[in-house]
Homo-oligomer: A and B are copies of this chain.
Amino acid sequence: MEEIDRRIVTLLAADGRMSFTDLAKETGLSVSAVHQRVRRLEKRGVIRGYSALIDHDAIGLPLTAFVSIKPIDPSAADDAPDRLLHLTAVEACHSVAGDESYILKVRVESPIALEHLLQQIRAAANVSTRTTIVLSTPFEHRTPDLGTGPG
């Protein structure tokens, strides 16, 4: 990927609603050239989508936790992600190296809701869980610094 595309990606990662007009000003291109590039980045999957960043406290999901899971039967099919998809409290699922197989990031309303969710996770994916509760989040969703590229 090239310099101007990197700049566009950086700008849109920092402000997902920036207008094409402003992107054009920032990049020195015409509006239609920027438009074309953004559409191409979307089509190529470099830009996967756009999202509003939400204050989870404000929407009634103040409790965040990381849940590491491990299959109870190590010989069973490893389809945990599929089995957890329906649990909307599970915001992310990462397959990881190490003693456990996945790390989930979950957002719930309360400790009771977390307890219930853990039961659901264990039942749905036939796993044991280890939970780390988030006390506060100094920062999150920071935009990568794409600098001037590899090289």
CB <8 Å contact, A46 and B50: no
Chain B residues, CB < 8 A from A33: none
CB <8 Å contact, B51 and A16: yes
CB <8 Å contact, B17 and A144: no
Q: Which of B53, B109, B136, B139 contacts A51 (CB 8 A)?
A: B53
Within 8 A of B (CB), among A43-88: 44-56, 58-61, 64, 66, 81, 85, 88
Copies of the chain in the assembly: 2
CB <8 Å contact, A91 and B45: no
> A13 interface residue, CB < 8 Å from B?
yes
How many Å from the CB of A144 to the closest CB on chain B? 6
How many Å from the CB of A79 to the closest CB on chain B? 10
How many Å from the CB of A27 to the closest CB on chain B? 15
CB <8 Å contact, B54 and A142: no
Chain B residues, CB < 8 A from A149: 60
Q: Which of B48, B88, B103, B134 contacts A145 (CB 8 A)?
A: B88
Count residues of A near B (Cβ-Cβ below 8 Å). 62
> A92 interface residue, CB < 8 Å from B?
yes
CB <8 Å contact, A139 and B49: no
Chain B residues, CB < 8 A from A9: 52, 54, 59
The closest CB in chain B to the CB of A16 belongs to B50
Chain B residues, CB < 8 A from A102: 138
How many Å from the CB of A39 to the closest CB on chain B? 12
